[in-house]
Structure 1
């Protein structure tokens, strides 16, 4: 039975700066049904404040406590491990890393730096890793659906390059990290087995959620979805739907 819902944002609720057709209405239907909602994203080019403002401009009100981001997970890790960040991120995301303690030991934090993925920046991160810095990846997604409608390279390839060069493995704090999903599910106030995830990324959103113990995961054919993406997924999607509106219908039919 479904008692709580986690929704990916980019590619499910919106693409670029525009809401996908029927997406906002679908979210409101789930709210009116009394289902607790959480919103999770691996987007690392925008701070949490800006993501919430973007949703508000689209007509969707989301509370700060309803949105779980990789940056907040990284902050928690840095605090727990007593590390200061060596940031390889988009400049817009820097505000989400303000006011951290200046510990003597560091950790490289890699997000989608966009044009900031220069040789100098990558080499600086590599040298920090070779000197013993911790290694965090906000996410390791392969691609994302860009504002022009085409797929663009995401942070995963750059994380893999640093892993290869340093012979180190990054700790992924965003999706599909089980800890990331556990934090988001805790915000719903339901057991993981009673939660459903809706996303457009079969690896991070679907297989990741199911591996983390969620009871169901729906893959939608919007955003970065490509024909046949679900083939060979382990675990496979509970269901594959055209979009968030159709996924909401499925959820309401299967709610507790």
Structure 2
């Protein structure tokens, strides 16, 4: 029985800053029905505060503490381990890490850095790794969808650094099981009572199922038709949209 929901954000609740049809009303109805929710994302172009502000601007009824982002999880790890990171990240995300000591780096953080994925930056990261720095990645996502086009995400660059420096990245974010478990632990339910809804078959769907959750792949956002085979192999649900996905799990009226 489903008792709580984890929502991926971009591609599931909205596309290019426009809410999916019925999504705003859906979250309002779930809120009125007292169904616990968390909004989980590997986004690496926005701080957690920006994610919350953007969702509320679009009309979504959410609370700041319901937003779980991979960058915040990485920052918490750095604070716990005493890591001084070299941040190969998007300029818009830099405020999230501004209060960390970044002198004499002993760690490399890689998120989607867009134009900062240049030779100079990548080579500096490589040099630090060769000197013993640990590699922290936001996720192994291969691509995301923006302005109607698929674009390279952080995953390929993390793998390139792993190969070059002969190291293994610690992934903090989807599809890492610890990320899902952290979100579930705040819901006071068992993992198998939580439904993860996402548009990325590997990070959202298979990752959630491997962490003991249930999952549903939606045919919006970065979804590609060939993803259905992998979703079915993992015994995941498939729905046309987040609204249909929730309707499969709950009998709601809105």
- One fold, TM greater than 0.5? yes
TM-score of the pair, normalised by structure 1: 0.94
| Cα distance per residue 1:14-57 (max 9 Å; x no partner) | 11221111111122222222210000001101111111111111
Question: In structure 1, how many angstroms separate the alpha carbons of the residues matched to 2:202 and 2:78?
Answer: 26
Matches within 5 A, 1:61-140: 61-101=61-101, 106-140=106-140
Superposed CA deviations along residues 213-236 of structure 1, whole A, max 9, x for unmatched, are 11x101000000011203135861
1:174 — aligned with what? Answer: 173
- The 5-angstrom pairing of residues 142-221 of structure 1 reads 142-146=142-146, 148-214=147-213, 216-221=214-219
Paired with 1:253 and 1:177, the residues of 2 have a C-alpha distance of 31
Q: Which segments of 5 or more consecutive residues in structure 2 lack a partner in the other structure?
A: none
- Within the alignment, does 1:242 sit opposite 2:240 as a pair? yes
Specify the alignment match of 2:25 in structure 1: 25
Q: Which runs of 5+ in 1 are unaligned?
A: none
- Is the alpha carbon distance of 1:77 and 1:234 closer, same or farther for their aligned partners in structure 2, counting shifts above 3 Å? farther
Deviating beyond 6 angstroms after TM superposition, the runs of 4 or more aligned structure 1 residues are none
Q: Deviations over 1:115-165 (max 9, x none)?
A: 11010000000001001001100122011110x211111111111111111
Root mean square deviation, CA, Å: 1.7
Please, what TM-score do these two structures have when normalized by structure 2? 0.94
Q: Is the 8 A contact 1:65 1:187 kept in 2?
A: no
Alignment partners' CA distance in 1, 2:42 and 2:230: 23
Kept after mapping to 1: 8 A contact 2:47/2:92: yes
| Distance verdict in 2 for CA 1:27–1:237, change over 3 Å | farther
Residue 137 to residue 19, structure 1, CA distance change in 2 (3 Å):
same
1:211 Cα deviation from its structure 2 partner: 0.4
- 1:148-193 Cα deviation digits (max 9, x unpaired): 2111111111111111111111111010111111111112221112
Number of residue pairs matched by the alignment: 252
